[in-house]
Each structure stands twice: as C-alpha cells, then as structure tokens.
Amino acid sequence: MDNIDRNELFCHLSIFERYANAYSPITEKAKRHLSRGINYRYILMQDSLLLLEEGIEKLPYNRYEIGKINVAINSVYINLRGITDNIAWIIYYDIIKSGLSKMKISLYDKDFLRKLEGSQLHDIIIAKYIIWFRELNELRDPIAHRLPLYLPPRVILKSSNATEAQAYIDAAEQALAQGNKEEWHKNMEKYSEIGEELPILLIDNSETMKLKPVSLKAILEKDFATLASLGKDIFSNMN
C-alpha cells in the first residue's frame, strides 16, 4: 500500500499556520479561536498524520493497524473541518460582530456570506472555496450525524474474489450460529486475506446512501493544498 507524502502535507499545514498566525485578532474571542482553536488543531493534525503514516507502513505486517489508520483519518478531517469553523468565528468576532445565530457561523452559510457582501473576503470565498466547503461538509465530515470515514484493510476487485469472500462469510455465520467459535475464527481469517491492500478511502454519504471510493493520498493532498491556499487568501485580506 502506497503511503502518504507526509512532508508535502506538513508543508501545506505550515503554510496555513504561518498565514493564520501572521494575523493579529482584534477581539479576545477571536484570539481564543486562533490560539486555542486553530493552533491546537494544527498540532493535532500533525500528530494524526504521523499516526496515519505509521499505520500504513506497518499494515502489511500487522492487519490490526487498520484501526490506528481509521482513527487517524477521522481525526484529520474532524480537525480540518474544525479549522474552517474557527476561521468563521474569527471573521464573525472581528468583522461581522453581530446579527447571526451560532448555527449560522459557517464559511458556506448563505446568511454568513451575505454579511460579508461587498468585501474581498466574500468574493474570495464565493469564487474559490464555496464548492470545497460544501463538498468537505457533505462527503468528508465525520462529525455528528455524518458517517465515519473508513479505509478497509483490503479491497476486493475481482468478482471471483467476491464470490469466495461471501462463501467464507456464510460459513463463518453458520459456525457462529452453531456455537463453533474456532470454525468462525478460521473462516474470518481466510476472508480477511482476500483482496488487495489499496489506500482507498470509503466515503459513506448518509443522505444518498451511496459509497464513494477515493484515493486517500490524492484526497489528502487536494484538501491540504486547499487549506494552505485558504489560509493565505483569508488572513492576508483581514489585516
């Protein structure tokens, strides 16, 4: 399984962090969202990437590393989504200041954006990031009622393998029904060896009921590059 490019992802994070901390918040509440929000999430995302890289590296020798991988992936996206919320609150406290309920403080909310009309921030968000915000929220946000992101230990690509896998599952279920734990374990072990180790992230949309497979490496590089660009564009136009 191809590993992530940690150095590239760290580089994107560092660019974002540099622009975010070059901004001098006006209000104490905005300062808190920068220091206790964005900066803490920056550290958590770095740690999560290290866990993700380590898990992928060890997976060929220990299939139980898949648990570490999936915890790390969900942590990355929970904090990435959280960073966009922290940015929205900084903009609210320092620029908008009033007139919105808490549920409306979001970079892709129509009422929030309406409060920024006529500003560079409004034009930047609409032109470059609104589609990404919505996509991030709909497909890669494991918070609250959304379904968690998941990287399976193996991916079945051939129909013959799918038939074989189903046979092992059926045999395992029959063994379990008969109380034969040893036979159940044996069939599940065989089932877990079918397929290929691929860095494919499964995104489960709870509304459309569709499962979307994407390249983990590609989606991380896209989202982290967009985050770096967002940091530059937003914070450079707030001072």
Nearest to 141 by CA among 78, 85, 58, 60: 78
* Tokens representing residue 234 in the block: 């937003």
> Contact, 22 vs 38, CB < 8 A?
no
Whether residues 36 and 110 fall in one domain? yes
Q: How confident is the model at residue 1 (pLDDT cuts 50, 70, 90)?
A: low
In this prediction, residue 9 carries a pLDDT of 97
185 within some domain: yes
In this structure, what are the phi and psi dihedrals at residue 232, rounded to the nearest 5 degrees? -65, -50
More confident residue, 167 or 138: 167
Mean pLDDT of 73-85: 94
More confident residue, 110 or 156: 110
Whether residues 71 and 183 fall in one domain? no
Tens of pLDDT, residues 112-160: 999 999 999 999 998 999 999 988 887 787 775 577 888 887 777 777 7
Residue with structure tokens 């393998």?
Answer: 161
Whether residues 90 and 184 fall in one domain? no
Q: Which residues span the domain enclosing 184?
A: 159-192
Whether residues 94 and 178 fall in one domain? no
- Residue 104 DSSP code: G
Provide the 3-class DSSP secondary structure of residue 203: strand
154 within some domain: no
151 within some domain: no
Residue 59 neighbours by CB under 8 Å, 6+ apart: 1, 65, 66, 69, 153, 197
210 within some domain: no
211 within some domain: no
Nearest to 221 by CA among 62, 26, 10: 10
Whether residues 90 and 171 fall in one domain? no
* Tokens representing residue 77 in the block: 């996206």
Whether residues 49 and 123 fall in one domain? yes
207 within some domain: no
Helix locations, the chain, DSSP H: 6-22, 28-32, 39-58, 65-91, 110-115, 120-124, 130-139, 159-177, 181-192, 216-235
Whether residues 54 and 81 fall in one domain? yes
Whether residues 95 and 171 fall in one domain? no
Q: Which amino acid is at 184?
A: W
Nearest to 202 by CA among 185, 189, 191, 215: 215
More confident residue, 172 or 19: 19
More confident residue, 59 or 175: 175
The model carries a pTM of 0.84
Whether residues 81 and 104 fall in one domain? yes
Nearest to 130 by CA among 145, 110, 111: 110
Domain count, the chain: 2
* Tokens representing residue 186 in the block: 């044996």
Whether residues 45 and 69 fall in one domain? yes
169 within some domain: yes
Q: How confident is the model at residue 85 (pLDDT cuts 50, 70, 90)?
A: very high
197 within some domain: no
Whether residues 11 and 56 fall in one domain? yes
Tens of pLDDT, residues 188-230: 888 877 877 777 888 776 667 777 788 899 999 999 999 999 9
Whether residues 74 and 140 fall in one domain? yes
Q: How confident is the model at residue 23 (pLDDT cuts 50, 70, 90)?
A: very high
